[in-house]
A and B are shown apart, each in its own frame.
Chain A
Amino acid sequence: MRAVTVRRVPACRFALAAAAAAALAAVPLVAGAQSVAASGSAAASISPASSLPYAFNEAVVSSRTGLSGRLTVYGLGSDGERYELYRAELGYADAATVTFYAWPSLEAIVTEGLDGDGLPFEARARLERSGFGPSPGAETEPDLSTLEFPMRGRMPGALEADRRPWPLALLALWAALFSLAPLAVLGGRGRLGTAGRSGRYATRRGPAVAETVAAVSATIAIAVLAFALGHARPDLRSAPDDSGATLLGVRSPLEPLPLSSFDGYARLRFQRPPLVIAGDNGRPALAPAPFQAAWALPGRPRE
């Protein structure tokens, strides 16, 4: 009897300790899950102001304790794909108005970010399907969804970027001068770079230093000029089509393209959903991205 008791007591103690350890380990998980769930479901929300297809729409993201850090909006398509539609870095804001591109198969938008206390939240909103129906006066317009995008090599020439002649002319001039410089040096005082080193050139150290300084200054000046002239700006080029729509070439691989560039178009169908970011002065702009085409209907954006 005593032997049995002695065996049971350590076993009970071990079981009790294991249960306590498991309970302690589970507390943070449960607490964290509750915190995120409460923050996501009750504290934050995203409210689309409109949901026009083939257009940029706005939504308001708000949280009871404000917003901070990175704010991201994703779109969930009917195909199950998830697209990043908006991204911004916030210092702190009570609410944020986000701009996102909508297309017919976009079913819901989801926002993720940090609230004012730095806690993560997630909120989603289903888009009203009523906004995706034909609008008054749209019967005569071409159906953007049926238009096909030409392959990259067969895009109209009007969509290609113009070649900027000035930087190329500058580089050609530089190449000519650089190639001929050794000839001038040879004609003057032997091979390039020998001045101020030895022999009779040792007495010409002063002029050689001046020539070196001049050459370095010229190199820096040409490099700065080539950099300034070569700067590629984001570009939106258009080619009218027989269908009545316009094919756009959206070229902004280096810099954001302001959304105001699309002000003259009522509907836009991009090859792939574009990412909108807060550009200069906080105004929405397309994030730098590889070239893509878009079909557009000229006119004022409809409400």
Chain B
Amino acid sequence: MSRRLGVASAAMVVGPLLVAALALPGEADVAAAASIAGGLPLAWAAAVSLAASLDATGLAIALAGALPFGAWALASYAPRPSWPDLVALASAAVAGSVSAFALERSARAGHGRARLVVPIVAMASCAAASELAGPWSGAAVSSLVVVLSSLAFARPR
């Protein structure tokens, strides 16, 4: 049984992220990897979605809520942060959301939390590709995930 995003879940997504942003120093002594700095807020949103058994819409909204925090963390803590890094981060979130919608439509997607595992893994893969091969490569992998998910989404049931 999956649920939509409510007030409590929304506050659970952004509340801890805001507290962390306020508690962390304005600038770190050492740089963090771009996928870690930008990806942690998205990972938190994904974890909350899993814990709350949200549906695809809920996951997409949760990721959207965490995206500004990821962008801020990317700019503040990643070495040589650039716009392609932000594009890669946003495209990973989009890939996770679109694949969640596609799986939700699929009859074989499973139920409840299991339905979110594959989109989250896909999103993590996009972030990993971005870290290993550069932000444009990560964005390309995300685009591939979005295209494949869209094809599955468009296929008649």
A177 to B63, CA, bound (A): 15
A35 to B30, CA, bound (A): 42
A and B contact pairs by CB, cutoff 8 A, 16 listed: A160-B25, A161-B26, A162-B26, A167-B76, A182-B6, A182-B7, A191-B4, A222-B68, A231-B75, A232-B77, A253-B30, A253-B31, A254-B31, A254-B78, A254-B79, A291-B30
The digit string for B21-39, where 1 denotes a CB below 8 A from any CB of A, is 1100111111100000000
A162 to B25, CA, bound (A): 9
Is there contact, CB below 8 Å, between A192 and B14? no
The digit string for A261-303, where 1 denotes a CB below 8 A from any CB of B, is 0000000000000000000000000001011000000000000
Q: Which of B4, B31, B69 contacts A226 (CB 8 A)?
A: B69
A168 at the interface (CB under 8 A from B): yes
A41 at the interface (CB under 8 A from B): no
Residue of A nearest to B94 (CB): A216
Q: How far is the CB of B76 from chain A (nearest CB, A)?
A: 5
Starting from the known contacts A171-B68, A180-B7, 7 additional A-B residue pairs (CB-CB under 8 Å) come to A152-B29, A174-B14, A174-B65, A191-B6, A227-B75, A232-B76, A291-B30
Is there contact, CB below 8 Å, between A168 and B7? no
Q: How many A-B contacts are there with CB distance less than 8 Å? A: 130
Q: Which of B10, B67, B75, B79 contacts A219 (CB 8 A)?
A: B67
Q: Which of B58-102 contact A (CB under 8 A)?
A: 58, 61, 64-65, 67-81, 83, 86, 90
A1 to B147, CA, bound (A): 85
A164 to B70, CA, bound (A): 17
Tell me which residues across on chain B come within 8 A of A149, comparing CB atoms.
none
Q: Which of B22, B27, B75 contacts A253 (CB 8 A)?
A: B27
Give the interface size class of chain A: 35 or more
Tell me which residues across on chain B come within 8 A of A209, comparing CB atoms.
none
Tell me which residues across on chain A come within 8 A of B69, comparing CB atoms.
171, 226
B137 at the interface (CB under 8 A from A): no
B11 at the interface (CB under 8 A from A): yes
Q: How far is the CB of B9 from chain A (nearest CB, A)?
A: 8
> Which 3 residue pairs spanning A and B have beta carbons closest together?
A230-B75, A291-B29, A193-B57
Q: Which of A162, A183, A216 contacts B64 (CB 8 A)?
A: A216
Q: How far is the CB of A83 from chain B (nearest CB, A)?
A: 19
Q: How far is the CB of A292 from chain B (nearest CB, A)?
A: 9
A181 at the interface (CB under 8 A from B): yes
A230 to B30, CA, bound (A): 16
Q: A192-B61, A193-B5 are in contact. Are A172 and B18 (CB under 8 A)?
A: yes
Q: A181-B10, A230-B71, A230-B72 are in contact. Are A193 and B27 (CB under 8 A)?
A: no
B13 at the interface (CB under 8 A from A): yes
Tell me which residues across on chain B come within 8 A of A232, comparing CB atoms.
26-27, 75-77
Q: Which of B6, B27, B67, B90 contacts A251 (CB 8 A)?
A: B27
Q: A224-B86, A253-B79, A254-B79 are in contact. Are A161 and B17 (CB under 8 A)?
A: no
Q: Which of B111-149 contact A (CB under 8 A)?
A: none
A175 at the interface (CB under 8 A from B): yes
A119 to B29, CA, bound (A): 39
Is there contact, CB below 8 Å, between A254 and B81? yes
Tell me which residues across on chain A come within 8 A of B17, comparing CB atoms.
171, 175
A179 at the interface (CB under 8 A from B): yes
Is there contact, CB below 8 Å, between A223 and B14? no
A194 to B61, CA, bound (A): 13
The digit string for A215-236, where 1 denotes a CB below 8 A from any CB of B, is 1100110111111111110010
Is there contact, CB below 8 Å, between A178 and B10? yes
A171 to B72, CA, bound (A): 9
